[in-house]
């Protein structure tokens, strides 16, 4: 996945250093070329030999140690990097980078690189919430530096709150997102539905479907990686929600899904339906036999789609809504156009075509696929 990409990791001195060993391991499994720079404080927690063994590259920990090559070390690594990751990033290192202080190999190399920089803070809660630290973080964000927000929980010092280093899984996913995708969906706000819906018959029995949610979660992950603000509305699945989405909403029934879409429609401009329940359960009582009878009526979710489209058109909040579903083996896309560039309402226009055909170079459907996520 990351073959041919070079990630330089700057490790500063904090108890969370041990987690970065797992980050290096995961990146190597993705075929990334990994170089590690350690501060003197970091070397007190984990020996450089550990990172050297896992990265399969020499570890730099001292600006004045004997060079392993004849390149100027900090300039050489700065040029090699496709991405520079600082993890864990202590308050000290964040402050130095924000104010242009270059007094060790880590801060010097960060200052010299033209690559994307990703910073993963880790510190005590009171330190993280200190307005000076927050000002430094805001300054770096204004300069275009990327951050992996710390997690909340019990810290090594015994306190509870924000400041835990993000999990290795989250950090690596952020690295992959920055290296693989351009931020061409910045400004887009997208609702994505995913997973199965459950229609209750009684407190014990229910009707559902075999949807795994994988398609919707994959779309959400990539859309967010490309800069979109994603609201993922999902039935029950065994998949962890993508870490980079704006909002995650759990639902049960098709009606719950519809209401969740409608309630979030004002703040979004694209709806991607990757979860579609084509039936609705109605309950009625047969008076002559005194029993409750259940009927399955088709077309329930299609009505929901049309209702959402109508609201989007009336509020002029978006141009497109798409529905993705499975018909046997091929995955098809139903594309609904709301109105043309002059604002004329076109109604619901369905275009069903295999994804492979949509994405094929030169395909007449490729423009339709691109229009779905067209920038404002």
**Catalytic annotation, residues:** 157
Name the CA radius of gyration of the chain, rounded: 25
Q: What would you measure as the largest C-alpha separation in the chain, in angstroms? A: 95
133 phi, psi to nearest 5 deg: -65, -45
364 phi, psi to nearest 5 deg: -70, -20
The CB density around residue 118, as the number of other CB atoms within 10 Å, is 23
3-state helix, strand, coil in the chain (%, to 5): 35, 25, 40
d(CA 163, CA 154) in angstroms, rounded, equals 9
Collect all residues with Cβ–Cβ distance below 8 Å to 57 and sequence separation of at least 6: 33, 34, 35, 36
Yes or no: say if 56 and 29 are a contact pair by the CB < 8 Å rule.
no
Q: Euclidean distance between the first and final Cα of the chain, in Å?
A: 30
Collect all residues with Cβ–Cβ distance below 8 Å to 170 and sequence separation of at least 6: 148, 243
């Amino acid at each position: 996945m990351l073959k041919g990409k070079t990630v330089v990791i700057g490790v500063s001195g904090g108890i969370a250093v041990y987690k970065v060993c797992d980050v290096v391991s995961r990146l190597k499994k993705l075929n990334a070329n990994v170089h590690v720079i350690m501060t003197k404080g970091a070397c007190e927690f984990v020996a450089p030999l550990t990172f050297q063994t896992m990265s399969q590259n020499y570890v730099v920990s001292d600006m004045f140690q004997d060079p392993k090559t004849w390149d100027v070390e900090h300039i050489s690594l700065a040029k090699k990097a496709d991405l520079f990751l600082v993890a864990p990033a202590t308050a000290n290192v964040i402050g130095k980078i924000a104010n242009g202080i270059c007094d060790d190999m880590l801060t010097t190399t960060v200052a010299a690189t033209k690559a994307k920089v990703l910073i993963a803070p880790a510190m005590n809660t009171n330190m993280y919430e200190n307005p000076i630290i927050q000002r430094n973080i805001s300054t770096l964000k204004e300069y275009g530096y990327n951050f992996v927000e710390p997690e909340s929980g019990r810290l090594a010092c015994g306190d509870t709150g924000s400041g835990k280093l993000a999990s290795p899984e989250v950090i690596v996913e952020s690295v992959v997102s920055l290296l693989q995708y351009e931020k061409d969906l910045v400004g887009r706000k997208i609702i994505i539905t995913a997973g199965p819906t459950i229609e209750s018959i009684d407190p014990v029995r229910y009707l559902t479907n075999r949807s795994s949610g994988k398609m919707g979660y994959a779309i959400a992950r990539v859309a967010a990686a490309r800069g979109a603000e994603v609201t993922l509305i999902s039935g029950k699945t065994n998949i962890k929600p993508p870490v980079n989405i704006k909002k995650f909403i759990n639902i049960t029934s098709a009606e719950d899904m519809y209401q969740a879409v409608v309630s979030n429609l004002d703040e979004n401009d694209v709806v991607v339906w990757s979860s579609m329940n084509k039936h609705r359960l109605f309950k009625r009582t047969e008076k002559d036999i005194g029993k409750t009878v259940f009927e399955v009526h088709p077309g329930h979710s299609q009505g929901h789609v049309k209702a959402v489209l109508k609201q989007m058109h009336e509020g002029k909040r978006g141009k497109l809504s798409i529905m993705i579903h499975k018909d046997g083996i091929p995955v098809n896309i139903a594309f609904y156009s709301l109105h043309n560039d002059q604002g004329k309402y076109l109604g619901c226009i369905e275009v069903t075509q295999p994804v492979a055909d949509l994405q094929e170079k030169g395909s007449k459907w490729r423009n339709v696929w691109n229009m779905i996520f067209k920038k404002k």
